[in-house]
């Protein structure tokens, strides 16, 4: 039986590809310095492939129209907003994602950003580096406790639920808003209370975003939201940059409408508005939610398993369309 031909686009953990290479013909795509050049290469060659693992490249109608033999796309991560999922479905192409492997490292990062914001790590770190040993007897130089604070979670999927577990262990109160309310047993386990969106943004001391990017959620966090949030509240985003209107966020941070923000994702990645780096009340990381050694190994393995299951076991797993 002829092996399926699989194209890998993006940097993956080669050690986790052993089984995929055994069962399929695996080709790594271009690793150039210009996205436009890489995209054109894919357009010119994608017709040769049965499956693809894709990290960040856009798979839109043009790309899919050239993919004459493509049967499955596995995203390299839980997000799939860079793939035209509905058009792929119309062409009979399965789209799968990787929801399991990213859960723990992303939840850990969200907790890290909560703590870093509360304890003002950026402010302290750069002050020390600039030769200033701050007087912490001064009220303005002190941080915040998180015990007893309210964590508002927008998007209570597997990552949001794990963040809730971490926060519960640290004595935080948990409220959440989701497309659908969780069942009662899960709510009891997490000690989490379902609220409407307006209550979520008004009551949260820390608002942590874990929702997918859709037409409904794009820029859902905007100037109207910031005006309703507590002035001492923090925004945490480890989901998708475009959930937040960044211009509105910058205004809110500069004018004290909220206390601060911990951001791992941005609207125009890899471009980041330089205004963020001028603020003492922000913690910035370069989309590193799953970027641990174990996390990236597991992510590569999960993406590979999506392909293996489809072609070897004739079963689509983690399918999103």
- Residues annotated as catalytic are 240, 269, 287
Joined together, the tokens standing for residue 116 give: 């870093």
- 276/194 Cα distance (integer angstroms): 32
With the C-alpha atoms ordered 159, 162, 166, 168, is the resulting torsion angle positive or negative?
A: positive
Smallest Cα–Cα separation from 264: which of 86, 105, 70, 48?
105
Rounded CA gap, 163 and 151, in Å?
A: 9
Q: State the burial class of residue 199 (Cβ atoms within 10 Å of its Cβ: 0-12, 13-18, 19+).
A: middle
Spell out a b/e string for 244-272, using b for 16 or more CB atoms within 10 Å of the CB, else e: bbbebbbebbeeebbbbbbbbbbbeeeeb
User: For residue 222, which of 204, 261, 254, 248 has the smallest C-alpha distance?
Assistant: 248
């Amino acid at each position: 039986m002829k092996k399926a031909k699989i194209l890998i686009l993006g940097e993956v953990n080669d050690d986790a590809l052993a089984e995929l290479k055994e069962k399929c013909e695996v080709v790594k795509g271009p690793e150039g310095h210009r996205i436009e050049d890489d995209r054109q290469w894919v357009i010119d060659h994608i017709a040769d492939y049965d499956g693809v693992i894709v990290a960040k490249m856009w798979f839109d109608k043009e790309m899919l129209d050239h993919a004459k033999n493509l049967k499955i796309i596995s995203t390299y991560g839980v997000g799939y907003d860079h793939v035209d999922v509905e058009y792929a479905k119309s062409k009979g192409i399965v789209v799968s994602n990787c929801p399991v492997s990213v859960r723990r490292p992303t939840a850990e990062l969200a907790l890290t950003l909560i703590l870093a914001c509360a304890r003002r790590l950026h402010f302290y770190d750069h002050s020390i580096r600039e030769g200033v040993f701050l007087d912490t007897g001064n009220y303005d130089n002190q941080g915040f406790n998180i015990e007893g604070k309210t964590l508002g979670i927008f998007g209570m999927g597997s990552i949001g639920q794990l963040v809730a577990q971490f926060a519960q262990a640290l004595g935080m109160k948990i409220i959440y808003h989701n497309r659908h309310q969780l069942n009662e047993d899960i709510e009891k386990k997490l000690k989490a209370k379902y609220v409407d969106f307006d209550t979520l943004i008004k009551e949260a001391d820390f608002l942590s975003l874990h929702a997918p990017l859709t037409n409904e959620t794009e820029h859902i966090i905007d100037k109207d939201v910031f005006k309703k949030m507590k002035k001492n509240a923090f925004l945490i985003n480890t989901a998708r940059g475009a959930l937040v209107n960044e211009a509105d966020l910058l205004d809110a941070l500069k004018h004290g409408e909220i206390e601060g923000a911990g951001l791992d994702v941005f609207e125009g990645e890899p471009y980041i508005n330089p205004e963020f780096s001028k603020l003492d009340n922000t913690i910035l990381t370069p989309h590193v939610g799953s970027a641990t050694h174990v996390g990236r190994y597991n992510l590569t393995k999960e993406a590979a398993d999506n392909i293996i299951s489809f072609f070897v076991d004739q079963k689509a797993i983690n399918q999103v369309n």
